[in-house]
């Protein structure tokens, strides 16, 4: 989206979303067969479609905002999604959050705001200076991404869907939505023509799609097997590494005040992860090393 192929720049985000989803469907379908699972739906189809539509919208906004804001701004902005996820959780699942959760979310919000207001935000390829449009797209991404993850969690809890079944149907719906969008915009055939003119672009799209499939697998697996706390800590490390690598590789400028905002954001996020880990350890300490046998437990008397 930011590097030209020859003298041409690829600008159609929906085609990248479509390519990712097709590869994801092929991967999820093959894993369903390998594990002997059923390809039948495990919940009403419209619920898969809700996740699909919000996911396509979030991914498209994510790609589009890179035209107007730098990669570090986008990555840091993703840390702000705690607040949308919390609000969606209250609206959809009736969840309640502690004062610590709200305090951490507020610190992250203030840190992101400071980072965006005290230094350059525009993408290196944006000559219009329309970083405000990029911020709006980033806010739309946060809105739809929060809905996606919250509704996914609701499906796991209410319908006990397997990760591969959910990946297969959500990505299948997303592929259809992306294809319809491309055809409606009249960009599908021009995108295929671009692929024919630039073989290097095909390789990049395939690499991006395979990475997206691997990412989905590890996200589902980590949440399912190790819990949301470990996943949140992993995402924090990933965001820091991505931002630092981007600054080194693409020579992005950063001001002193932006550095303060950056440390504030990730300090708050790591504190939340640490506090959750300590709380989890304390609960484990209070548990007996071995469960009491049923015959040794006190019986109720009449």
What's the chain's average pLDDT?
77
Q: Give tens-digit pLDDT for 166-180.
A: 889 999 998 998 899
Q: Rounded distance, CA 20 to CA 42, Å?
A: 23
Q: Give tens-digit pLDDT for 237-253.
A: 666 667 667 667 766 66
CA within 13 Å, CB half, 23: 18
Nearest to 89 by CA among 149, 160, 3: 149
Q: How far is CA 151 from CA 41, 91, 216, 230, in A?
A: 16, 11, 16, 20
Average pLDDT over residues 82-105: 78
Contacts for 181 with CB less than 8 Å, ≥ 6 apart:
14, 56
Measured at the alpha carbon of residue 100, what is the angle toward residues 95 and 104, in degrees to the nearest 5? 100
Q: Give tens-digit pLDDT for 126-165.
A: 555 557 788 888 888 888 888 887 887 788 778 888 889 8
Residue 73 · residue 115 · CB < 8 Å: yes
Measured at the alpha carbon of residue 56, what is the angle toward residues 177 and 199, in degrees to the nearest 5? 80
Contacts for 122 with CB less than 8 Å, ≥ 6 apart:
68, 69, 70, 129, 130, 131, 134
When pLDDT is cut at 50, 70 and 90, the band that residue 24 belongs to is very high
Nearest to 79 by CA among 116, 131, 34, 123: 116
């Amino acid at each position: 989206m930011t590097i030209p192929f020859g003298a041409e720049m690829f600008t159609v985000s929906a085609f990248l979303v479509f390519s990712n989803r097709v590869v994801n469907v092929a991967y999820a379908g093959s894993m369903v067969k390998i594990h002997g699972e059923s390809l039948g739906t495990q919940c009403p189809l419209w619920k898969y479609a809700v996740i699909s539509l919000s996911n396509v919208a979030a991914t498209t906004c994510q790609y589009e905002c890179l035209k107007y804001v730098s990669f570090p701004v986008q990555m840091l902005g993703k840390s702000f999604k705690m607040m949308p996820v919390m609000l969606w959780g209250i609206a959809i699942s009736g969840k309640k959050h502690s004062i610590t959760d709200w305090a951490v979310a507020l610190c992250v919000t203030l840190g992101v705001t400071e980072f965006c207001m005290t230094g350059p935000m525009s993408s290196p390829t944006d000559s219009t200076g329309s970083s405000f449009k990029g911020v709006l797209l980033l806010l739309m991404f946060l809105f739809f991404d929060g809905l996606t993850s919250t509704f996914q969690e609701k499906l796991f809890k209410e319908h006990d869907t397997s990760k591969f079944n959910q990946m297969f149907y959500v990505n299948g719906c997303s592929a259809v939505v992306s294809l319809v969008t491309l055809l409606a915009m009249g960009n599908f055939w021009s995108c295929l023509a671009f692929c024919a003119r630039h073989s290097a672009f095909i390789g990049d799209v395939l690499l991006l799609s395979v990475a997206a499939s691997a990412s989905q697998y590890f996200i589902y697996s980590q949440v399912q097997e190790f819990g949301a706390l470990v996943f949140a800590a992993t995402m924090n490390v990933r965001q820091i590494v991505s931002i630092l690598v981007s600054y080194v590789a693409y020579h992005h400028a950063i001001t002193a005040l932006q550095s303060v905002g950056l440390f504030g954001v990730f300090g708050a996020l790591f504190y939340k992860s640490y506090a959750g880990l300590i709380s989890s350890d304390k609960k484990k300490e209070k548990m007996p090393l071995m469960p009491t046998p049923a015959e040794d437990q006190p019986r109720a008397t009449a």
